[in-house]
Amino acid sequence: MISFLKKMLKINSHNKEVICIQLSKNGLGVILAKIAPVLHVTKCKYFQGDLKTIQNSLHAFVEQNQLQYMDCHVVLSLDDYQLMLIEKPKVIESEVRESVQWLVKDLINFPIEEAIIDFFPAPTRTGQPEKIYVVIGRLERLNTIANLATNAELKLKTIDIAALTIRNLLAALHIVGNSAVLLIKDEENYHILVVKDRLVYLERKLVFHHQNELDEQKFEAFCNELVTELQRSIEFYQNREKTIPIKIFLSPSLGHNKKLVQTIETGMNLRIDVLDVNKWLSDVQDMSLDCKINCLSIIGKALGLAAPAD
């Protein structure tokens, strides 16, 4: 969990049942899960509509299932924050956050007073200056999401970011070599996440225009662009670690497009797997495709609560 709420909220990871939510541009993903002794997702919902409709749907869900005052954990979507890799300021630990604010204030496109900033460790080579990832979110957006939870009579406990919760999910797959690349479609953008040993080595946002309005020729060219970006990310990791990631995954939001999967697989000349979340959703009934596509990050959050990494 990123730490900007640790001083505000007392975190109790021993609660056996929690709600995890993620607000996107088009809706709200929600899971209800038992996290002790092992993760067991009992409900998975995706509420669509404007903010008021989503608020009403979440409130009704809480009332129908008698979940008032249950612990609620929020995940910021990949499009809801910026992630920057910098050298850790050479100051005492209590002054790092303030130093980071000065370092990044000219690198963001909105006033620093409207930002909420935190950081977490980044992989650092032996003998090199220590690196950190800086997380930059908009305070207004965080307040909007927090209000969704509290207005639905839920007890807000933590706010996390998708890169770290998806890391939990990849770690739970017990991949040989503990390294993986994931290509994700999150709302309007694509992201590449490279993880090894529960550490985030790379997160990249790829912005493509009109990717949903492509004829066959343009679709193939678009897939080739995705292949090129995957190759660049793998080369970055390979140059750093002197090895290649063991597994390459596509998120469920991409996995239903078989032509895209096949085209990327051919371009990479490697086996590409679609990340399968069904193992954690086997007991969920009446689950829509939208729900399965939009629950990736919040399943990862629940996995982190069941087996904390930080």
For residue 1, pLDDT beyond 70: no
Residue 193 binned pLDDT confidence (cut-offs 50, 70, 90): very high
> What per-residue confidence (pLDDT) applies to 308?
66
Separation of first and last alpha carbons in the chain: 7
Percentage of the chain lying above the pLDDT 90 cut: 49
Nearest to 200 by CA among 232, 142, 240: 240
> What per-residue confidence (pLDDT) applies to 13?
46
Model pLDDT for residues 38-48, shown as the tens digit of each residue: 888 999 999 99
Beta strands 247-250 and 199-206: pairing type?
Answer: unpaired
Q: Answer whether 79-139 and 174-278 agree in fold.
A: yes
pTM above threshold 0.85: yes
Model pLDDT for residues 119-156, shown as the tens digit of each residue: 999 998 888 899 999 999 999 999 999 999 999 999 99
For residue 310, pLDDT beyond 60: no
For residue 21, pLDDT beyond 80: yes
Helix boundaries (H) for the chain: 51-64, 96-104, 139-151, 162-172, 216-241, 252-255, 258-268, 289-294, 296-306
Tell the CATH topology of 3-78+140-167+279-285+296-306: Nucleotidyltransferase; domain 5 (3.30.420)
- The domain segmentation of the chain, as residue ranges, is 3-78+140-167+279-285+296-306, 79-139, 174-278
Nearest to 148 by CA among 303, 24, 297: 24
For residue 11, pLDDT beyond 50: no
For residue 254, pLDDT beyond 80: yes
Percentage of the chain lying above the pLDDT 70 cut: 91
Residue 216 binned pLDDT confidence (cut-offs 50, 70, 90): confident
Q: Are 122 and 132 in contact (CB under 8 A)?
A: yes
Highest CATH level, class, for 79-139: alpha beta
Tell the CATH topology of 174-278: Nucleotidyltransferase; domain 5 (3.30.420)
Mean pLDDT score of the chain, rounded to an integer?
86
What average pLDDT does range 104-133 have in this prediction? Answer: 90
